[in-house]
Structure 1
Amino acid sequence: MTKHLSRVGLVKPLALALVATAAVAAHAQSYPSRPVQIIVPFSAGGDSDQSARNLAATATGVLGQPVVVVNRAGANGAIGSQVVKDAAPDGHTLLLARIGSNVLLPALKPPGLSYKWNDFTFIGLLELNPVVCVVHPESNYKTFADLTKDLKARPGKLNYSTSGPATVPSLAPQLLLQNLDMKPDGAVAVNYKGGGDATLAVVSRDVDFTCNNLSSMTGQIAGGKLRALVTTTPERLKQFPDVPTARELGFQPMEAVVGWSALYGPPNMAPEAVKRWAEVLQKASTDPRWIAGNATYGGIPKILSPQETEKYIAENYKTYVDLIQKTGIELK
């Protein structure tokens, strides 16, 4: 009798454990249980918006639920980023993260910013957005070496166009000057309202050079209206294979100003949702439609795991903190 009761006592806990395990598995399989929102912290039509919509098209088919892109622009991307930070961690509200809103802003620490670079769940890197330094095709600078030689020979005499003092097109030349052991005023920054205007300033020969996002200059480079001297991507650009990389030319630290898009979740996001999205991104990496979509806005596919993404962005953040401290850049 005692032996029989002992067996009954063992069976009941085992049954409860099996039920609990089944419940966890069912919960994991139920994600997503409703449409998923990807918050883009910038206005519609830009690189970040196109990146999110490109991913949403692929993810909808894989997840079996609609993936909806929602634009929440404002405050250099801080408003949309904050929305996701405050969202429920169930994986139904995600962020299309960008270097400006999620690395540069936290590094600058402007008044009122209430999130840090790592206040999110890292899901995966999506693609790189190349930065290319260009000059007018009739410029005397035929190569990047020509440009750097003249910068050193005539400090403070050359000028470059940017889309603002706290943007990648501003920091790229500053990083270049730092690599040349020059002061921040070794070249004169001329600020414009946006990347397109900064590009046109080189076309019209109002400035000597710019280091801008490729997406703002692809047509002008292809059409011979700009001469590309260097790209900050680790590998040469497929569209412009004759353009050398910063690494090839001995300026590897400039790779830090490669733009990127990534997928983030709220803090402490459910592990099953993170795992599901990691699977989605792996499928996207071989999806011809997703790859072709990247090409339309100048993105270079580069899918990374959650762990790889966190490491990549941590290194990115450190580089920008160091650069900001050395250049004294502020965002007021």
Structure 2
Amino acid sequence: MPQLTRRALTAGLAATLLPWSARAQPAYPERPVTLIVPFSAGGAADIAGRTLAAHAPRHLPAPSAGMVVENRTGASGAVGTGFVARAKPDGQTLLLARIGSSAILPATDPRTPYAWDEFSMLGLLDENPFVVCVPATSSWKTLGELAAALREGPGRLNFATTGPATLLDLGVRHLFASLGLPIDAGVAIPFRGGADAVAAVLGGQAQFIGNNLSDMAGAIAGGQLRALVVGTADRLPSLPGVPTAREADVEPLARIAGWNALFGPPGLPEPVIAAWAGAIARLRQDRDWLAATRRVGSIPRLLEPDETREYVRAQVALYRELAKRLGLV
């Protein structure tokens, strides 16, 4: 066996005494990252999560590790969101954060098993317009006609939601208030995810729905759903014939919009946060991700971690105020 030189022995001993953080670390991530989507497969959340998983990992320090999507549904998204809140903060388990489960629920329900601000926030990804739809076979051609039907028979029409304290529920009740209707003018029928809620409307289990455009874009384009109003300042190029909230005389509805963000468990190491912040920033130039996001009706809006925290803080305040005004809390 060759003898070690004094210099080699000294260098080896010094290396063993270095703190772990000072030694060379493998590039992050060393293995596939699990992205928890807290809603069912096939819905807007799932689509956004799989779009992110298909494109964002290539912008990480170790681009070949990849990302896998796991759907953990239940309790209006609280099951999956709570799972990530309790996950090991090693960067291997992340959350596709949604407005309902990450802002509306903690803002309106004190039983929520996590706080909105306990997560490591990695970046906002996109916003999604809120659209009110009825089946294409419905006799209601305008929002005014739907409102008239609700006035004539309070509590007789059903609307599909993904559970209490979600965008689909609170957004529709906000619409009722904007129309001068009681917030229980329609009966909420809950489903496990946005895709299930849309399917319920198409199947006749509910007569109307207010939802993210991403969940309904295919059915609208396919002639199965009729959009009555979109909560944007200007008409959407993809829905040129659909009036805005202002045009439909329900301007307060313009405050409602869905969004997707990337969160991690509390206490993520700074290098992991920096890696994801960099990857999300590089999505600005990722034509494939931009095209895929726009294709389903979302509007890319990429924010840094600190900006994301302030954005979510404002969202929580907005929905807490709306819930109080509607008498829901």
TM-score (norm 1): 0.76
Unaligned runs of 5+ in 2: 1-17
Query: Residue type of the partner of 2:79?
Result: I
Against the structure 1 CA distance between its residues 247 and 316, is the aligned structure 2 distance closer, same or farther, given a 3 Å change threshold?
A: farther
Rounded Cα–Cα distance in structure 1 between residues aligned with 2:52 and 2:200: 33
Against the structure 1 CA distance between its residues 321 and 140, is the aligned structure 2 distance closer, same or farther, given a 3 Å change threshold?
A: same
TM-score (norm 2): 0.77
Is the CA contact (8 Å cut-off) linking 1:134 and 1:229 kept in structure 2?
Answer: yes
CA apart distance, 1:263: 0.2
Query: Residue type of the partner of 1:39?
Result: I
Against the structure 1 CA distance between its residues 128 and 47, is the aligned structure 2 distance closer, same or farther, given a 3 Å change threshold?
A: same
Is the CA contact (8 Å cut-off) linking 2:34 and 2:68 kept in structure 1?
Answer: yes
Could you tell me which residue of structure 1 aligns to residue 160 of structure 2?
162
Between structures 1 and 2, the one with greater helix share: 1
Is the CA contact (8 Å cut-off) linking 2:160 and 2:201 kept in structure 1?
Answer: no
Against the structure 1 CA distance between its residues 52 and 141, is the aligned structure 2 distance closer, same or farther, given a 3 Å change threshold?
A: closer
User: In the TM superposition, what whole-angstrom CA distance separates every residue of 1:120-145 from its partner, at most 9, and x where no partner exists?
Assistant: 12211112233211235565654435
CA apart distance, 1:116: 0.8
Against the structure 1 CA distance between its residues 43 and 132, is the aligned structure 2 distance closer, same or farther, given a 3 Å change threshold?
A: closer
Against the structure 1 CA distance between its residues 175 and 57, is the aligned structure 2 distance closer, same or farther, given a 3 Å change threshold?
A: same
Query: Residue type of the partner of 1:38?
Result: L
Is 1:105 the counterpart of 2:105? The answer is yes
Could you tell me which residue of structure 1 aligns to residue 278 of structure 2?
279
State the SS of the aligned residue for 2:36.
strand
User: In the TM superposition, what whole-angstrom CA distance separates every residue of 1:229-277 from its partner, at most 9, and x where no partner exists?
Assistant: 2112455333213323325555443244322211012223223322221
Could you tell me which residue of structure 1 aligns to residue 52 of structure 2?
55
CA apart distance, 1:313: 1.7
Could you tell me which residue of structure 2 aligns to residue 115 of structure 1?
114
State the SS of the aligned residue for 2:276.
helix
Aligned residues: 309
Is the CA contact (8 Å cut-off) linking 1:152 and 1:180 kept in structure 2?
Answer: no
Superposed, 1:248-287 pairs within 5 Å as 249=248, 251-287=250-286
Could you tell me which residue of structure 2 aligns to residue 191 of structure 1?
189
Is the CA contact (8 Å cut-off) linking 2:42 and 2:195 kept in structure 1?
Answer: no
Residue in structure 2 matching 1:42, options 39, 42, 66: 39
Rounded Cα–Cα distance in structure 1 between residues aligned with 2:93 and 2:195: 31
CA apart distance, 1:90: 4.1
Against the structure 1 CA distance between its residues 179 and 151, is the aligned structure 2 distance closer, same or farther, given a 3 Å change threshold?
A: farther
Could you tell me which residue of structure 2 aligns to residue 227 of structure 1?
226
Rounded Cα–Cα distance in structure 1 between residues aligned with 2:159 and 2:272: 42
Rounded Cα–Cα distance in structure 1 between residues aligned with 2:87 and 2:311: 24
Could you tell me which residue of structure 2 aligns to residue 212 of structure 1?
211
Is the CA contact (8 Å cut-off) linking 2:31 and 2:66 kept in structure 1?
Answer: no
Is the CA contact (8 Å cut-off) linking 1:122 and 1:306 kept in structure 2?
Answer: yes
State the SS of the aligned residue for 2:68.
strand
User: In the TM superposition, what whole-angstrom CA distance separates every residue of 1:145-175 from its partner, at most 9, and x where no partner exists?
Assistant: 5545x37964727734123551322222210
Could you tell me which residue of structure 1 aligns to residue 6 of structure 2?
none
Q: Percent identity?
A: 39
Query: Residue type of the partner of 1:161?
Result: F
Is the CA contact (8 Å cut-off) linking 2:43 and 2:215 kept in structure 1?
Answer: no
Rounded Cα–Cα distance in structure 1 between residues aligned with 2:234 and 2:304: 20
CA apart distance, 1:62: 1.7
Unaligned runs of 5+ in 1: 1-19
Is the CA contact (8 Å cut-off) linking 1:43 and 1:71 kept in structure 2?
Answer: no
Could you tell me which residue of structure 1 aligns to residue 5 of structure 2?
none
Is the CA contact (8 Å cut-off) linking 1:161 and 1:207 kept in structure 2?
Answer: yes
Superposed, 1:65-104 pairs within 5 Å as 65=63, 66-71=65-70, 73-76=72-75, 77-104=77-104
Is the CA contact (8 Å cut-off) linking 2:121 and 2:305 kept in structure 1?
Answer: yes
Against the structure 1 CA distance between its residues 160 and 105, is the aligned structure 2 distance closer, same or farther, given a 3 Å change threshold?
A: same
Is the CA contact (8 Å cut-off) linking 1:199 and 1:210 kept in structure 2?
Answer: yes
Query: Residue type of the partner of 2:182?
Result: K
Against the structure 1 CA distance between its residues 53 and 219, is the aligned structure 2 distance closer, same or farther, given a 3 Å change threshold?
A: closer
User: In the TM superposition, what whole-angstrom CA distance separates every residue of 1:157-215 from its partner, at most 9, and x where no partner exists?
Assistant: 77341235513222222101222344313x22251546456546655777653223333
Could you tell me which residue of structure 1 aligns to residue 7 of structure 2?
none
Superposed, 1:139-158 pairs within 5 Å as 141-145=140-144, 147-148=146-147, 150=148, 154=152, 156=154
Rounded Cα–Cα distance in structure 2 between residues aligned with 1:68 and 1:201: 31
Query: Residue type of the partner of 1:213?
Result: N
Could you tell me which residue of structure 1 aligns to residue 15 of structure 2?
none
